[in-house]
Amino acid sequence: MTADLRVELPAEDIEGLEFAAFLAAADASLSNLAHKRAPLRRVVVSADVPRASVCPLGGPERHPAAVGLRAPVEWNTVAAIHVDEAEAAEEVRAAIGGDSAALRRLEDRDLLWYAPQERPSLVAELERGKAVSSGSLLEPFRVVLFDLDGVLTPTAEIHRRAWSALFSEYLSGRGAAPFEDSDYFEYIDGRPRNEGVRALLASRGLTLPAGEPSDPPDAETVAGLGNRKNSLFTSAIAADGVAAYPGTADVLQRLAQADKSLGVVSSSANARAVLEAAGLVELFDVVVDGQVARNEGLAGKPAPDTFAFAAVRLGAAAGEAVVIEDAVAGVAAGRAGGFGLVVGVDRGTGAARLINAGADVVVGDLSELLAYGYNGRG
């Protein structure tokens, strides 16, 4: 039970608070059905999970009972499953379509109670009543757009080391506060290179002229520092090579076999070279990187422009596409663009920060995308 819910309903006892949370979950289940091809029946799963497994959600519109999940809910923690009876399907359909009278009728309906041990028979019943098998979290969507560094390849760590090497020396020589790991996530991760330079310098009260893209790495300009960092990054790639995260190619191939169009949207100007080095480039239908963004005049993340451009190139509206990101700026871009699903991949940013930035769900590995069945925003 959340502290916010206790503040919202101070007169309620524990049973009243639990019932209020239950009703909120039923409403969230209804809103989820609006963009998922699933049985038209609300489902509420009651589970006992450690407090450490959830995180608070930000934003003025969130329900006071809502929390984010740091990890998928394990079935051995489930206490009960509550599901609409089959006869409620038409009212659910009407409520999703905006029929307020149907919504009020649903509020008066009791959901049926099932013990966790009844899950196999309940799943079979729901499958029989489903027009199209959902298959996975991504099944309803035609297009899947991936960030690169930290999502497909562990190159985010190489970027972090390059930025650290650059700014450790640069800041030390100017008497500024030293570069910390948290600075990467706060000011740099997911942003176009030169925007990251500006943001980090601004955090130390420093400014530099913008310079030109062709500035040499030793130039005292934003572009010069950005090019110096890029030189450190490309040298590390040349020396050590690049390998995708284990299982990444299998996930991509399975999505392609399911007729998904796949794209990469990265702020890095090195995206195509990294994909080629990792042996992944042939699996993608479109690559929108920092160079494409500059050529097309696209604003970088957290603006949604690069993701929107990729979706259009693949013939999809934003609502038909999924954005998969490990950076706060990238998640915020996906949310701002109105994409059908925004998935955060927690490689160190933190599940709470990703959810607060707008992720619908947070996973620790891409393999979870093929089996994950819960919406992480409630």
Q: Residue 373: its pLDDT value, please?
A: 42
Average pLDDT over residues 342-354: 87
Task: Name the least confident of 43-57, 141-155, 168-182.
Answer: 43-57
Residue 192 has pLDDT above 90, yes or no: no
Catalytic residue among 27, 84, 149, 289: 149
Confidence tier at 306 by pLDDT (50, 70, 90): very high
Pairing relationship of beta strands 112-114 and 143-146 according to DSSP bridges? unpaired
Does residue 149 carry a catalytic annotation?
yes
Name the average pLDDT for the chain.
86
Q: Which amino acid, 289?
A: D
Indicate the domain borders of the chain. 3-128, 143-153+243-370, 156-240
Residue 13 gets the label, from left (phi > 0), alpha (psi -120 to 50) or beta, of beta
List the structure tokens of 359.
């992720």
- Architecture of the domain spanning 143-153+243-370: 3-Layer(aba) Sandwich (3.40)
* DSSP three-state, residue 341: strand
Q: Residue 34: its pLDDT value, please?
A: 56
- Identify whether the C-beta of residue 324 lies closer than 8 Å to the C-beta of residue 316: no
Q: List CB contacts of 350: < 8 A, sequence separation 6 or more.
A: none
List, for residues 277-301, the tens digit of each pLDDT value: 899 999 999 999 999 999 999 999 9
Q: Residue 38: its pLDDT value, please?
A: 60
Confidence tier at 61 by pLDDT (50, 70, 90): low
Q: Residue 29: its pLDDT value, please?
A: 81
Confidence tier at 130 by pLDDT (50, 70, 90): very low
Residue 129 has pLDDT above 60, yes or no: no
Residue 291's nearest CA partner among 310, 266, 314 is 266
Residue 136 has pLDDT above 80, yes or no: no
- Identify whether the C-beta of residue 150 lies closer than 8 Å to the C-beta of residue 347: yes
Average pLDDT over residues 238-249: 87
Catalytic residue among 84, 147, 305, 346: 147
Q: Residue 318: its pLDDT value, please?
A: 95
| DSSP assignment string, 262-325 | EEEE-S-TTHHHHHHHHT-GGG-SEEE-HHHHHHHTPPPTTSSHHHHHHHHHTT--GGGEEEEE
Pairwise CA distance, residues 233 & 230, whole Å: 5
Residue 233's nearest CA partner among 280, 266, 258 is 266
- Architecture of the domain spanning 156-240: Orthogonal Bundle (1.10)
Task: Name the least confident of 91-105, 161-175, 190-204.
Answer: 91-105
Percent of the chain beyond pLDDT 90? 45
* DSSP three-state, residue 5: helix
Residue 262's nearest CA partner among 282, 243, 290 is 282
* DSSP three-state, residue 145: strand
Q: Is the peptide bond before 116 cis (omega within 30 degrees of 0)?
A: no
Question: pTM for this one?
Answer: 0.57
Average pLDDT over residues 335-356: 89
Does residue 360 carry a catalytic annotation?
no
Domains 143-153+243-370 and 156-240 share a fold: no
Q: Residue 371: its pLDDT value, please?
A: 59
Top-confidence residue, 99 or 141: 141
Top-confidence residue, 31 or 3: 3
Q: Residue 58: its pLDDT value, please?
A: 66
Residue 110 has pLDDT above 50, yes or no: yes
Task: Name the least confident of 22-36, 231-245, 269-283, 314-328.
Answer: 22-36
